[in-house]
A and B are shown apart, each in its own frame.
Chain A
């Protein structure tokens, strides 16, 4: 077992029998967020990052390199849910960064509040990702990165609308759930349409299909 830094900033990995497992450095040592395993190496504590639970982890395992998360970043995270992926983003950006986690559902936001209590670099916003103008009053003038994972049929338009918060030269990551857009169409066709829509307003810098970790999902990475 040798947990060492991976090619992605602040993300660690261990390769055993050809299988790669990802980790992040625990911002709050001793605390688990969702029942994940904790590993000690010297005086560092690592949290295991499950690609079946986190689309960002599966993107990295599928070879995604343009993640662009750095220490101290300000992230707008649409679709934060219970905070599984948010917790790893929080580990990566460290105490000087901030994740603004947006989700509309009270059930998951109640869970998310537990994370907010523990981690000072996470801010909760219970609001619809589609309400860009309402979000404006609750966000800083500019963020470094927009990460979106919402299961809506107009998710691409929501993403494009919220890119307005990203600084020039900043990045966006869009997790696309084909079945939310149209349950009857072939996912590959849907992904092609999404690509066309994104190309009109952004520069696509990376694209990964997330099977076997997530069925009928892909991740687009764009630059503003």
Chain B
């Protein structure tokens, strides 16, 4: 009896290990990359604020003028952050400048990593999911995959779910209290939606979600590339 159980356990272990090996598909990797991009963005934001505040003790005029934190970091790293005459910034010794160098190097490095990750996402989406890539773009497409959890789930979602992915707070509030439903979630950042006139944004979100849903299904079931005609269809309807 007990040896039967042991054999059954070994069989199940082998089957499970095989299933785990096979569970890593391009969408799993894209989701890891896009989650890392999000986390990198948080870090960039926090360190960026810190650099700006710290550097403005030494060169407030530069910090006030330069909007981009990456450019500020470049100024520090190339040694071009000395204040002009009659600045209200304080003199920093070399010793005091060195932590600013460290933070700037870190910010620069984070930004480089973020760009490399986005480039990886772009290449992977284009190779494996060309329809979603054309319809949604690689960043939004990857975020949709992240929210869905997998390409399979994204392909199984009705278009209305895709339309509201990212607006869960508003969606459940609508379902529970009857308040007005959300028109878009992540899709708001799609060019066709946020660039549309305000009274057409809801329609744009709905149309693009419909086509993304079709695109996801084509990509999941490995159909041919029909992204061009789908995109054309949306643009026609939005005129």
Please tell me if the beta carbons of B16 and A113 are within 8 angstroms of each other in the complex.
yes
By a CB distance below 8 angstroms, the chain A residues around B15 are 125-126, 138
How big is the B interface, by class? 20 to 34
Instruction: For the complex, give the distance between the alpha carbons of A92 and B86 in Å.
Output: 76
Give the most central of A98, A110, A123: most B CB within 10 Å.
Answer: A123
Q: Is B64 an interface residue (CB 8 A)?
A: no
**A78-128 at interface with B (beta carbon < 8 Å):** 96, 98, 100, 106, 109-110, 113, 116, 120, 123-127
A140: chain B residues within 8 A (beta carbon): 4-5, 8
Q: A residues within 8 A CB of B16?
A: 109, 113, 124-126
Answer yes or no: B78 CB below 8 A from chain A CBs: no
Given contacts A183-B172, A183-B176, A184-B175, contact A138 B20 (CB under 8 A): no
Contacts of A184 in B (CB 8 A): 175-176
**Complexed CA–CA distance, A45 and B158 (Å):** 51
Q: Is chain B's binding surface mostly helix, strand, loop or mixed? A: helix
- Kindly provide the distance from the CB of B35 to the nearest chain A CB, expressed in whole angstroms: 12
How far is the CB of A93 from the nearest CB of chain B, in Å? Answer: 12
Task: Please report the C-alpha to C-alpha distance between residue A32 and residue B212 in the assembled complex, in whole angstroms.
Answer: 46
Q: Is the CB of B11 within 8 A of A126?
A: no
Determine whether the beta carbon of B172 is less than 8 Å from that of A123: no
Q: Of B5, B11, B23, which one neighbours A98 at CB under 8 angstroms?
A: B5
Bound together, the chains give a CA A2 to CA B5 distance in angstroms of 37
Contact A138 B11 (CB under 8 A): yes
| Residue among B17, B172, B176 with max Cβ neighbours from chain A (10 Å) | B17
Bound complex: CA of A139 vs CA of B11, how far in Å?
10
Q: Closest B residue to A127 by CB, please name it.
A: B19
A127 to B9, CA, bound (A): 15
Residues on A with beta carbons closer than 8 Å to the beta carbon of B175:
183-184
CB within 8 Å of B: which residues of A? 74, 96, 98, 100, 106, 109-110, 113, 116, 120, 123-127, 138-140, 183-184
- B residues whose Cβ falls under 8 Å from a Cβ of A: 2, 4-6, 8-9, 11-13, 15-17, 19-20, 23-24, 28, 172, 175-176
Given A110-B20, A124-B13, A126-B16, list of 6 further CB < 8 A pairs? A98-B5, A116-B13, A120-B6, A123-B13, A126-B15, A140-B8
6 contacts between A and B (CB under 8 A): A96-B2, A106-B28, A109-B16, A138-B11, A138-B15, A140-B4
